Structures are given as structure tokens and as C-alpha cells.
Structure 1
Amino acid sequence: MEKKVLFLCSQNAARSQMAEAILNIKGKGRFIAYSAGLNPASKIDSFAIEAMKRDDIDISCKKPKAFMEFGNVNFDFIITLCDKAINECPNCSIDTVTVHWGITDPINFKGTDEEKLESYIKIKKDIMTRINVFLSIPIGKLNKLSLETNMQELENLLNLSLI
């Protein structure tokens, strides 16, 4: 049975959309990923679309979604991608494993279009690395507390190596 994962951020216009698409490809058969925002944007960020195209992943037809649209879904994992999301994440099932991946919002980057695109590509690579690590965790063999502890320890290591 596939585990359900929600990537949650503030606008659901870039990071969470990229994470959803990447996990649905890399975790096919094991995971089904969703994404949502606390205050969804009106459309997917064009730089996120272009960054994903570089790996032949098309998110151009996706739409930002509100967290409330998933009120009836029992997620196995909720992964917050920004500080706002972790601070405002609604209470979920006691069985839901929650973890925070502090990933910079590329929407705030300044510069030329090429420099902005490079920042989105860097964020996409960061997300791919984290998803690869996530996929390496023996999820079926660990309880909720062990999973949260393992994921937080890996997150701390990733943050150190990405600095």
C-alpha cells in the first residue's frame, strides 16, 4: 500500500509542487505525494516550471491547492517546507509523521531571469537530495517516533552539508 505524503508550504507555487512531482516519480509504487499551501498562489511559478523541465518533469498543468482541500485525507507524512508552514501546520492525525525541511523560498530571489532560474534549479536539486534520503529510510521497519527522529537527524545532516 502506498504511503501518502503531503508537502506543505505557504503558497504551493514552487517548492511543494516540485517536491510532489519528484516524489511521485522516484517513489512510484511506495508513495503518493500531494502538495498544498496555507495561502495558495493563483498559479504555479514560471521559474519552477522551467527548472523542472530541465529534468523532463512537467508541472505546467498543476494548480496551487489549499491545505483544506485535503481535509478528508489521512496522510502518513506531512513535510513542511517553510517556517510559516511549520508554525501554522494544522493538527493532523496522531499517526501522521511530521518533519520540517527548511528550504529557502526561491520566489524571493532577486537578479536576472537567468540568475533566478539558477536559484530554482539549486532548490530543485536540494529537494531531490532530500527525497533520495527520504526514500532510503526503512519506513516499514520503524515506528512513528523513530521515523520522526531519523528524519530530523537526516535533515540536520543535510542542512550542514548544504551550507
Structure 2
Amino acid sequence: MRKIYFLCTGNSCRSQIAEGYGHKLLKNWEVKSAGIETHGLNPSAVQVMAEEEIDISQQESELIDIDYFNSCDLIITLCGDALDKCPMIPKGVNH
């Protein structure tokens, strides 16, 4: 199964929303999100996604898992801060 990683600063809103959509739309992918810091799951993100009938309330704000990061097929950074501070994108990984 292919792996995708959505990364942002605090893994509280943007990357959580992206992960939620990923779980719904990318059925043949393992989907995760993380941040360079953890800020907790933003209640507004949960509310917005509930309006889309996507439940992200059980997702957690997590730091980048370097093993998962290194095994990904696709890494998407959702802000400049994450791009500047995330580990070096492994060779051969789409970004």
C-alpha cells in the first residue's frame, strides 16, 4: 500500500483536515499527518469536517515519525514553516 504524509507546523488544523479527506478519498493509500510541533487537535477543524460528514475527532496531534516519513511515497508540506523545518525529503519520494 502506498503511503502519504501531510505535514504542517502544529498538526492541529490543516494537516488534520488533509488527513481526514485522505482517509475518505484515498482508499488505496495509508494516510497520516504530523507536525514539527504538536498543538492538539483544533476543535474548529473537527467542526468543519463534521459539516463535510467526515469525523476526525479521534485523530491526534503527532510529531513527525521519522520511520514513516522515510518510507512514504508522497510527502505534502502544507506550509512554509513545515517545509523549512521538516527532515530532508528522502531521495525518490515525491514532494
TM-score, normalised with respect to structure 2: 0.91
Instruction: Say what the alpha-carbon RMSD is for the aligned residues.
Output: 1.0
Q: Comparing both structures, which one devotes a greater share of its residues to helix?
A: 1
Q: Which structure is richer in relative contact order (CA contacts within 8 A, separation 6 or more)?
A: 2
Residues 36-95 of structure 1 deviation map (CA, whole Å, 9 limit, x = unaligned): 000111x2111100000001111111110001xx22220111100011011112013211
Q: Which residue of 2 aligns with 1:91?
A: 88
Residues 88-136 of structure 1 deviation map (CA, whole Å, 9 limit, x = unaligned): 12013211111xxxxxxxxxxxxxxxxxxxxxxxxxxxxxxxxxxxxxx
Aligned length: 93
One-letter identity of the residue aligned with 2:8: C
Q: Which residue of 2 aligns with 1:11?
A: 10
The answer on whether the counterparts of 2:24 and 2:54 sit within 8 Å (CA) in structure 1 is: no
The answer on whether the counterparts of 2:9 and 2:81 sit within 8 Å (CA) in structure 1 is: yes
Once residues 25 and 59 of structure 2 are traced to their aligned partners in structure 1, the CA distance between those partners, rounded to angstroms, is 18
* Structure 2: gaps of 5 or more residues: none
Once residues 77 and 89 of structure 1 are traced to their aligned partners in structure 2, the CA distance between those partners, rounded to angstroms, is 14
The residue matched to 2:67 in structure 1 has which SS? coil
TM-score, normalised with respect to structure 1: 0.55
